[in-house]
Structure 1
Amino acid sequence: MILATALAGVVFGIALAAPPGPMNAIIAEESVVRGWNAGFRAGLGAMLADVLFFLLALAGVVAVIDRYPVVRPVLYLVGGLLMCYFAIGATREARAATAFTDGSHASSKGFRKTFALSLTNPYQIGFWLTVGVGLLQSGTLDIFAHVPGVGAALEGALVVQTGSPALLAGFFGGIAVWIVVYPAALVSAGRRVDALAPVVAALSAVVLAGFGLVFLAVGALQVV
Structure 2
Amino acid sequence: MALLTTALAGVVFGLALAAPPGPMNAIIAEESVVRGWGAGFRAGLGAMSADVLFFVLALGGAIAVIDRSPAVRPALYLAGGFLMLYFAVGAVREARDAASFTGDGQGVAKGFRKTFVLSLTNPYQIGFWLTVGVGLLQPGTLDVLSHVPGAGAALEGVLVVETGSPSLLVGFFAGIAIWITAYPATMVAARRRVDAFAPAVAALSAVVLVGFGLLFLAVGALRFV
TM-score bracket, shorter-length normalisation: over 0.9
Give matches, 1:75-154, under 5 Å.
Answer: 75-98=76-99, 101-103=101-103, 107-108=107-108, 109-154=110-155
Letter in 2 for 1:140: T
CA distance in 2, matches of 1:20, 1:179: 13
Q: TM-score, normalised by structure 1?
A: 0.98
CA distance in 1, matches of 2:129, 2:104: 37
2:128 aligned counterpart, secondary structure: helix
Partners of 2:184 and 2:196 in 1: CA distance? 17
Q: CA deviation at 1:192?
A: 1.0
1:25 partnered with 2:26:
yes
Structure 1: which 4+ aligned runs deviate by more than 6 Å?
A: none
**Residue correspondence of structure 1 range 119-198 to structure 2 within 5 A:** 119-198=120-199
Please report the RMSD computed on the Cα atoms of aligned residues, expressed in angstroms: 1.1
Q: Compute the displacement of 1:106 (Å).
A: 6.5
Asked if structure 2 preserves the Cα contact closer than 8 Å seen for 1:34 and 1:105, the reply is: no
1:97 CA displacement: 1.1
Partner amino acid, structure 1, of 2:123: P
Consecutive unaligned residues of structure 2, counting only runs of 5 or more, are none
* Residues 197 and 161 (structure 1), Cα distance of their counterparts in 2 relative to 1, 3 Å cut: same
Give, as a single letter, the amino acid of the residue that structure 2 aligns with 1:63: A
- Could you say which residue in structure 2 is the equivalent of 1:43? 44
Q: CA deviation at 1:86?
A: 0.3
CA deviations over 1:27-51 (Å, ceiling 9, x no partner): 0000000000000000000000000
CA distance in 2, matches of 1:91, 1:67: 38
Cα pair 1:53 1:128 within 8 Å, conserved: yes
Distance 1:4 1:97 in 2: 44
CA–CA distance in 2 between the matches of 1:146 and 1:77?
25
3-state secondary structure, aligned to 2:107: coil
Structure 1: stretches of 5+ with no match in the other structure: none
Name the amino acid aligned to 1:66. Answer: D
CA–CA distance in 1 between the matches of 2:154 and 2:85? 33
Q: Which amino acid aligns with 2:67?
A: D
Deviation at 1:153, TM superposition (A): 0.8
Displacement, 1:60? 0.2
- The Cα of 1:104 is off from its aligned counterpart by 6.0
Matched-pair contact (CA < 8 Å) for 1:81–1:216: yes
